[in-house]
Chains A and B, each alone.
Chain A
Amino acid sequence: MYVVIMGCGRVGARLARLLVKAGHEVTVIDTNPSAFQRLGSDFPGTTMVGSGIDMDTLERAGIERADAFAAVTQGDNRNIMASQLAKEIYKVPKVVTRIYDPIRQDTFLTLGLDAISPTVIGARAFYTALTGQEPDDEV
């Protein structure tokens, strides 16, 4: 697959490394060039400085031929906007979005976005480790 990732924070960088290890072709976009250090000096993919909510940047990153797009910055609204660009304008087949603050869960659902919240997953994992049980997630 050719995957474009917006956001080279901890999640984005780790995701990028997982994907290239599995043999996929990856381009990572971030507004801050020093974020790419998280990828390691041996990262075989492509990095691009720019904003994932800018169509020119996305096009330079090859979004038109992308099989998948992941918006994993810490800004929920930017993630939402970029995902919609990818999904509705560029028709990328698989688009996944990060929710940073679970309070926006409803928003993501309303907009029909495939969303993953490391916050929710993390809290759940801790809960299970502490109590040995699955939590009732509605909080």
Chain B
Amino acid sequence: MYIIIAGGGKVGFYLARELIAQGHEVLVIEQNPARADEISSQLGNVVMTGNADEASVLAEAGANRADVVVSVIGADERNLVICQVAKRRFNVPRTIARISNPKNERIFRVLGIDATVNTTDVILSIIEQEIPAQSLVPLLRLRHADVEIVEAVLPKGSPLHGVALRDLYLPPESIIAIIIRNGEPIFPAGGTTLEAGDEIVALTRSVHEEELRQTFFAKR
């Protein structure tokens, strides 16, 4: 694939390095000439100096034949503009934007960006995973299908302790994908019984998430 990366900061650099190692054709667009030189001295002739939010720069970068444009600059609004121009002017099939402000996720989606990566959310969910709580920890959202992959840790004294999966009522459009017990994965079958302390990874449609949460954390 031909992938254009807008932004030669740390994220852009390491992303480029990994993609090149995987055999993809990569071009990094970086506006600071000194930084661009640094990158090319390490990765080779894969950098272009310029401002990726200018249509002429994207044209010179061959955006019209790019499979993906990823914008990983530190300013959300710049990533938005770059991805939008890539998509609307150059018909790039897939655009990905890094965002820092979680509120921008919805905005970017409405404005046509295919995927956003929100580093704040990622870190938040890691923090949440360390905290025992009566809540579902979001692991991944399959946005286009409105599916959430979530994790629940069954609390001590859970009424679900000893309950076999075949006897567990789950909300519609929900399944348990895997159970981690004492660091070991258990691939669930009907006869698998739950235990307090189990980390349950489940998939559910967003609309059923609350019901799923109540299933795992019911007091009764």
Contacts of A78 in B (CB 8 A): 77
Q: Does A42 contact B (CB under 8 A)?
A: no
Bound: A75/B53 CA distance, A: 12
Contact assessment for A107 and B81 in the assembled complex, using a CB-CB cutoff below 8 Å: yes
Bound: A107/B78 CA distance, A: 12
Residue of A76, A85, A106 touching B55 (CB-CB under 8 A):
A106
Bound: A104/B111 CA distance, A: 19
Name B80's closest neighbour in chain A (CB-CB): A81
Contacts of A53 in B (CB 8 A): 76-77
Q: How many residues of A contact B (CB 8 A)?
A: 20
Contact assessment for B78 and A77 in the assembled complex, using a CB-CB cutoff below 8 Å: yes
Which residues, 53 to 78 on A, are CB-close (under 8 Å) to B? 53-56, 75-78
Contact assessment for A104 and B88 in the assembled complex, using a CB-CB cutoff below 8 Å: no
The interface bits of chain B over 18-38 (1 if a CB of A lies within 8 angstroms of the residue's CB, else 0) are 000000000000000000000
Name A104's closest neighbour in chain B (CB-CB): B54
Contacts of A107 in B (CB 8 A): 53-55, 81, 85
Bound: A54/B3 CA distance, A: 30
Interface size class of B (residues with CB under 8 A): 10 to 19
Bound: A54/B111 CA distance, A: 15
Given that A78-B77, A89-B110 are contacting pairs, would A111 and B54 also be in contact in the complex, using a CB cutoff of 8 Å?
no
Within the complex, the shortest CB–CB distance from A4 to chain B, in Å, comes to 17
Contacts of B84 in A (CB 8 A): 110-111
Q: Does B10 contact A (CB under 8 A)?
A: no
Name B78's closest neighbour in chain A (CB-CB): A77
Name B56's closest neighbour in chain A (CB-CB): A106
Contacts of B55 in A (CB 8 A): 104, 106-107, 110
Contact assessment for B81 and A77 in the assembled complex, using a CB-CB cutoff below 8 Å: yes
Bound: A75/B77 CA distance, A: 10
The interface bits of chain A over 64-104 (1 if a CB of B lies within 8 angstroms of the residue's CB, else 0) are 00000000000111101100110011000000000000011
Residues of B within 8 A of A (CB): 53-56, 75-78, 80-81, 84-85, 88-89, 101, 103, 107, 110-111
